[in-house]
Chains A and B, each alone.
Chain A
Amino acid sequence: MIVGIDLGTTNSAIGIWRGDGPELIPNRLGDLLTPSAVSVSDSGEILVGMAARERQSTHSDQTVTAFKRLMGTQQSVQLHGQTYTAEDLSALVLRSLKADAETFLGEKVEEAVITVPAYFNDRQRKATRRAGELAGLEVKRLVNEPTAAALAYGIHQLDEEQPFLVFDLGGGTFDVSIVEIMDGIIEVRASAGDNRLGGEDFNDILVQLGRDRFDPEGKLSVGRSSQFCELLRAAAERTRRSLTEAESATLSIVWDGEMLSTDIEAAEYEERAKALIERLREPVLRSLRDSRIKAEELSEVLLVGGATRMPIVRRAVTRMFGRFPNTKLDPDQAVALGAAVQAGLKAKDKALDEIRLTDVCPFTLGIEVAERDGSGGIRDGVFSPIIERNTVVPASRVETYSNMHAGQRQIGVAIYQGEARQVAGNVKLGEISVPVPPGPAGSVTIDCRFSYDASGLLEVDVTVPKTGAVHQLVIVDDDEAPSEAELDARRRRLAALKFHPREDAPNIAALARAERCFEMFLGDRRDYVGHLLSTFRNVIDGQDPREIEAARKELEASLDELEGERFL
């Protein structure tokens, strides 16, 4: 069974292809979305999902969220004395999703299609693939998120013949894809994006606003600045969601036993978010340019990703295209549903026999070259593209280069990804040095072949026609590529981590939420939550499952009343 997984910055989801359509699998709490949060309990057990999210403000040093933003970097996080990389944390989330799916389906799940932001670079993609492997999943394919969303939309619109645009603003990344459907071929024409822009950035604005209001001189939070920020961040998420419906919302936190509260006007928030909104424009322009499609030729503009719920984003999109976007898709589920469709495609499901998907590589790939300028000097560090961005994948291209100096014995081939003219502005993927026979300048040539597969992984072959030698370079990141043994060790280490018992998860989540509420409120309401908490703890100690469930429902209802409904 192949599953489709949306591994998001804020939330993740898992789905399967059911023969007639994609379906999402509920997690242990019965939710279709699982927060991408990992927490370690005091006893050293791992908590994933809602329970971890709820602990974010109360146990900020034991909880991590939004680690997808660190994917492909060497940064690590300390939790309960243990070091975790973003890959490890993603693997924990994937493992939790896998366990949910196995319980739900009653069979082993070993293969998966995982989505990544289209604008993830090679490093980030490899890290995602490794995370899947660490979680015990064979990653059959990495799919670009907007492509997945287009797939979820496209399989119901197969007779649609005009290109449409997918506008995917998620928790941490922003992607745009232009998709065209023709006779069951769902074809991505162009993708562009910004892998450092998402809903979290909008939260940061509110956090900043809150800091300016509560603590302009930084006196309150001396030495505990990160904890202050975490508290604000948790509150900011709620405020941002309220601002979706109302013209103003309250941002309040409890700090040192004191209630800090302020009203935030939608207008003020929007003024501050203007710079972020501006950044939405460039990727849209680029994708339109690359696909040579005019904005008015688009049949639809599909909104995907939780952050597109914000009215400010919707207004910006409306202004950009001079029309209202299509909001029929559930912005949180579309990507996971699309991943499930891709899983079905991958499994060669009969119902999908008439459907094919082609994607593009969103970055330009090329090598570093030196060239002579008009006055005979040498300019080095120039980027020479081989596979241009938005080429349909799988793709394979060859370019020929020659030696710069007479008698040169070696030609260095450094591989880069990016759009800048100077390689210094691009991401270096690898390097290979090819021995060549000496000869006059320009007389010795090498052929560089770049092959890019459907998951977005690159292979480079360098041939020297004079000697017939072929040098191959499978791109592995020089500094961070772990060996097989290392991976095994990490896999064992992660497997040895104790997960909190699955059956307990709803209770833990409810407890964590109640604890957070206890810290959030003051006075009577705090006493009331404290009372609720101790009652619930007593019931749990009683160990009667039915009683516990009834008590939990009651607790959740009371908390809903107090702070508004729980959200994902």
Chain B
Amino acid sequence: MRGDSGTWKLLGIEPTDDSRAIKKAYAARLKAIDPDQDPQAFISLRKARDTALYWATIEDADIPAYDGMEAEHVGQPDFEPEAEQETRPTELAAASRRPNPWQMPTLADQMGKIEAILFDPAQTPIDHVRLKTQIEALLRHPDMATISRAEEIETWLAHLIIDAIPRSDALIAPATRRFDWMAKAQGWECPWYVEEVVARYHDCRYRDGEARDEHALAMRSLASEPPARSNALKDWAVARFLRHVRANHPTIERDFDRATIDWWDRHLAERRERFPWFKTLLLAATLFAVERLVGAGDMLPVLSAALSFVGAAGWFALKRRISQQQADDGWFELAPLTVPQGAALAILLLLPLAAVLAPRGSLALVTFALAAGGLALLVGRAPPSADEDPADRAWQARIAILAPILWLHASLWRNGLPLEALIPIAAAAWAAFAHTERVRTAILGGRQDNGIRAAIVIAGIILWYQIATSLGSETPSPPMPILLVLAITLVIVHQMIDPPDPWQKEWTSGSLIAVMAVAFGGPILAMLLVTTRTGRSVARTNGGS
């Protein structure tokens, strides 16, 4: 027995596959109730009928004699239109109840011609003009006025277009006009094949428009034979193009040779499996060298480099977020930078150099005050997402403002007062953790929380700086492992803010949780360390006197 017994009980019949019996039972039951007085009774009865009929048709489909039986029930004499309205060819009278479009000579001829052009491998490149003439002839065919014919042709044509991408591109425009597919695709329950044709239409427009400018290198690479040796730029371009196209314009992939795409996929996968350990180490070494060159114990250049790096990445993320909100369809498009934006970015990127070259003293302080202000603006002025809680937003702003102040504070007193600085930092860290849910979404969720993420990251970096200075106040140079961890953090942070691939994002978010735990555990550790040291030095001073 299929369906639950309640269904059949409501209908008052034994389980059956006979649709007629079900409908009859429903009719009998319906007469006993008054839908106006008792809508619930009607709703349950109707549901029972629909369920029963559903089971009946599923069963029917398995019986081979189905078509014949069905035809007996609903078959009807064919209608002969009179001479005045010659709308169907006479051959049609002999056609079966659901005539196969191929049985209609004139329309079928036309369809055959189109298929011949599309699927003839000898015709490469395809003759778009001929194809267009043929499709126009088909669409203007008098038989197309009849609904059932037109519907068959519509379905056939949509499937044909999908099957023959990209050779069928010339068919899309006339067919879309004729069947009003654009409007249909706006509806929420449009047939999948129409959606796909419309998607292909948009993809083509993207391919011939924007993609030509933005992804020129990638498209050139994909259109030619797989190269013997690739370079990083090409890899990056192709990876970016494929990622974008697969997410937003899936049919464009079919414009390129399958084998070439496969080669690139393999190649990129191999590349992706290697994590940039070398780059991480190189970055750490560079930072270390710079630190050594500039002078022992002075972390300012390193820090400003780090901050600029995060700032630049944050800027891009912010930019993307703005353009994402502006795009009507919800998909972001990276808009080009405006002149002031570009200038701001350049200043931000040049800051580390300025830090290295600037003489110690007030100028350095002004430079870094500017940098801090820029960061505060970047983080604090991020546009709110669709329906953000104002309270959370206030916290973001507070942290964003707090971070550079603390940073300035630390750089001003980098040879003293680390303990006082640690207290507000600990407070900020606590505030961030009080909103663990948001911190979690910031780390694991989508891209919409870059503001708070940047703030947390900056707070973390400052914590490390504090630890470093507090440790460094007694010894002339900070211990190397701290720099190393700092460098790794930076790389991970960068990957987090602008991750190249979903899998990398997952990887980095996992490691970042560990790093963050250390970062926020740091203050307590540092406090303990500093207190014991101060205590020891006090004791030693006492002992010495």
User: What does the 1/0 interface line of B134-167 toward A look like (CB < 8 Å)?
Assistant: 0000000000011110010000000000000000
> Which residue of the partner chain A has the closest CB to B445?
A376
Q: Which residues of B contact A80 (CB under 8 A)?
A: none
Q: Which residues of A contact B329 (CB under 8 A)?
A: 379
The yes or no answer to A504 lying at the interface (CB within 8 A) is no
> Which residue of the partner chain B has the closest CB to A357?
B35
A405 contacts B43, CB within 8 Å? no
B27 contacts A185, CB within 8 Å? yes
Q: Which residues of A contact B27 (CB under 8 A)?
A: 182-185, 356
Q: A564 to B485: give the CA distance in the assembly, Å.
A: 100
B387 contacts A405, CB within 8 Å? yes
The yes or no answer to A406 lying at the interface (CB within 8 A) is yes
The yes or no answer to A210 lying at the interface (CB within 8 A) is no
Stretch at the interface among A10-18, A191-199, A313-321, A514-522: A313-321
B39 contacts A451, CB within 8 Å? yes
Q: Which of B39, B74, B87, B324 contacts A322 (CB 8 A)?
A: B87
The yes or no answer to A21 lying at the interface (CB within 8 A) is no
A182 contacts B30, CB within 8 Å? no
Whether A419 contacts B148 in the complex (CB less than 8 A), given A379-B330, A407-B389, A454-B36, comes out as no
User: What does the 1/0 interface line of B423-451 toward A look like (CB < 8 Å)?
Assistant: 00000000000000110010001111000
What total of chain A residues lie within 8 Å of the partner, measured CB to CB? 62
A396 contacts B188, CB within 8 Å? no
Whether A358 contacts B187 in the complex (CB less than 8 A), given A373-B331, A376-B445, comes out as no
Q: Which of A281, A324, A392 contacts B81 (CB 8 A)?
A: A324
> Which residue of the partner chain A has the closest CB to B438?
A406
Whether A440 contacts B247 in the complex (CB less than 8 A), given A372-B446, A404-B387, A405-B387, comes out as no
Whether A421 contacts B188 in the complex (CB less than 8 A), given A288-B147, A322-B81, A354-B31, comes out as yes
The yes or no answer to B186 lying at the interface (CB within 8 A) is yes
Most buried by B among A320, A322, A407: A322
Whether A319 contacts B146 in the complex (CB less than 8 A), given A184-B31, A297-B74, A376-B448, comes out as yes
The yes or no answer to B392 lying at the interface (CB within 8 A) is yes
Q: Which of A285, A376, A388 contacts B447 (CB 8 A)?
A: A376
The yes or no answer to B388 lying at the interface (CB within 8 A) is yes
Q: A406 to B385: give the CA distance in the assembly, Å.
A: 13
Whether A377 contacts B76 in the complex (CB less than 8 A), given A294-B98, A420-B186, A441-B441, comes out as no
A396 contacts B39, CB within 8 Å? yes
The yes or no answer to A472 lying at the interface (CB within 8 A) is no
Q: A374 to B438: give the CA distance in the assembly, Å.
A: 20
Whether A420 contacts B330 in the complex (CB less than 8 A), given A318-B81, A320-B146, comes out as no
Q: A451 to B39: give the CA distance in the assembly, Å.
A: 10
Q: Which residues of A contact B31 (CB under 8 A)?
A: 184-185, 353-354, 356
Whether A182 contacts B23 in the complex (CB less than 8 A), given A376-B448, A377-B447, A406-B438, comes out as yes
The yes or no answer to B28 lying at the interface (CB within 8 A) is yes
The yes or no answer to A295 lying at the interface (CB within 8 A) is yes
B446 contacts A377, CB within 8 Å? yes
Whether A408 contacts B389 in the complex (CB less than 8 A), given A323-B81, A374-B247, comes out as yes
A322 contacts B88, CB within 8 Å? yes
Q: Which residues of B contact A356 (CB under 8 A)?
A: 27, 30-31
The yes or no answer to B332 lying at the interface (CB within 8 A) is yes
Q: Which residues of A contact B325 (CB under 8 A)?
A: 377
User: What does the 1/0 interface line of B97-120 toward A look like (CB < 8 Å)?
Assistant: 110000000000000000000000
Q: A299 to B75: give the CA distance in the assembly, Å.
A: 10
Q: Which of B245-259 contact A (CB under 8 A)?
A: 247
> Which residue of the partner chain A has the closest CB to B247?
A374
B36 contacts A419, CB within 8 Å? no
The yes or no answer to A469 lying at the interface (CB within 8 A) is no
Q: A420 to B185: give the CA distance in the assembly, Å.
A: 9
Whether A319 contacts B87 in the complex (CB less than 8 A), given A185-B30, A421-B188, comes out as yes
Q: Which residues of B contact A209 (CB under 8 A)?
A: none
The yes or no answer to A402 lying at the interface (CB within 8 A) is no
A375 contacts B387, CB within 8 Å? no
Q: How far is the CB of B135 from chain A (nearest CB, A)?
A: 20
Whether A407 contacts B186 in the complex (CB less than 8 A), given A318-B85, A319-B85, A323-B79, comes out as no
The yes or no answer to B24 lying at the interface (CB within 8 A) is yes
A377 contacts B330, CB within 8 Å? yes
Q: Which residues of A contact B331 (CB under 8 A)?
A: 373, 375, 377
The yes or no answer to B501 lying at the interface (CB within 8 A) is no
B24 contacts A320, CB within 8 Å? no
Q: How far is the CB of B502 from chain A (nearest CB, A)?
A: 10
B147 contacts A284, CB within 8 Å? yes
Q: Which residues of B contact A454 (CB under 8 A)?
A: 35-36, 39
The size class of the interface chain B forms with chain A is 35 or more
B24 contacts A183, CB within 8 Å? yes
Q: Which of A211-267 contact B (CB under 8 A)?
A: none
A299 contacts B76, CB within 8 Å? yes
Q: A120 to B74: give the CA distance in the assembly, Å.
A: 32
The yes or no answer to B42 lying at the interface (CB within 8 A) is yes
Whether A421 contacts B446 in the complex (CB less than 8 A), given A182-B23, A323-B81, comes out as no
Q: Which of B35, B40, B82, B147 contacts A358 (CB 8 A)?
A: B35
User: What does the 1/0 interface line of B26-66 toward A look like (CB < 8 Å)?
Assistant: 11101100011001101100100000000000000000000
The yes or no answer to A395 lying at the interface (CB within 8 A) is yes
Q: Which of B79, B324, B387 contacts A408 (CB 8 A)?
A: B387
B448 contacts A377, CB within 8 Å? yes
The yes or no answer to B127 lying at the interface (CB within 8 A) is no
Q: Which of B81, B386, B392 contacts A370 (CB 8 A)?
A: B386
User: What does the 1/0 interface line of B3-31 toward A look like (CB < 8 Å)?
Assistant: 00000000000000000000110111011
The yes or no answer to B214 lying at the interface (CB within 8 A) is no
Q: Which of A285, A392, A407 contacts B151 (CB 8 A)?
A: A285
Whether A377 contacts B188 in the complex (CB less than 8 A), given A183-B24, A319-B87, A408-B389, comes out as no
A383 contacts B39, CB within 8 Å? no
Q: Which of A282, A320, A370, A383 contacts B180 (CB 8 A)?
A: A282
Q: Which of A319-348 contact B (CB under 8 A)?
A: 319-324
Q: How far is the CB of B214 from chain A (nearest CB, A)?
A: 16
Q: Which residues of B contact A318 (CB under 8 A)?
A: 81, 85, 87
Q: How far is the CB of A439 from chain B (nearest CB, A)?
A: 9
> Which residue of the partner chain B has the closest CB to A441?
B441
The yes or no answer to A562 lying at the interface (CB within 8 A) is no
Q: A282 to B181: give the CA distance in the assembly, Å.
A: 12
Q: Which residues of A contact B88 (CB under 8 A)?
A: 322
Most buried by B among A353, A354, A358, A376: A376
Q: Which of B147, B388, B392 contacts A321 (CB 8 A)?
A: B147
Q: How far is the CB of B90 from chain A (nearest CB, A)?
A: 12
Q: Which residues of B contact A171 (CB under 8 A)?
A: none
Q: Which of B145, B188, B247 contacts A383 (CB 8 A)?
A: B188
Most buried by A among B88, B148, B188, B324: B188
B389 contacts A405, CB within 8 Å? yes
> Which residue of the partner chain B has the closest CB to A297?
B74
The yes or no answer to A26 lying at the interface (CB within 8 A) is no
Beyond the given pairs A182-B24, A420-B187, 4 more chain A to chain B contacts, judged by CB atoms under 8 angstroms and listed by A's residue number, are A295-B146, A297-B74, A318-B85, A377-B325
* Sampled A-B contacts (21; CB under 8 Å): A141-B36, A183-B28, A185-B30, A294-B98, A295-B147, A295-B148, A319-B87, A319-B146, A322-B148, A376-B446, A377-B448, A378-B330, A385-B189, A394-B35, A395-B46, A406-B437, A421-B187, A422-B186, A440-B437, A451-B39, A454-B36
B binding-site residues for A, Cβ under 8 Å? 23-24, 26-28, 30-31, 35-36, 39-40, 42-43, 46, 74, 76, 79, 81-82, 85, 87-88, 97-98, 145-148, 151, 180, 186-189, 247, 324-325, 329-332, 385-389, 392, 437-438, 441, 445-448
Closest 9 CB pairs of A and B: A376-B446, A379-B330, A183-B27, A394-B39, A295-B148, A319-B145, A323-B79, A406-B437, A185-B27
A binding-site residues for B, Cβ under 8 Å? 141, 162, 182-185, 281-282, 284-285, 288, 294-297, 299, 315, 318-324, 353-354, 356, 358, 364, 370, 372-380, 383, 385, 388, 392, 394-396, 404-409, 419-422, 425, 440-441, 451, 453-454
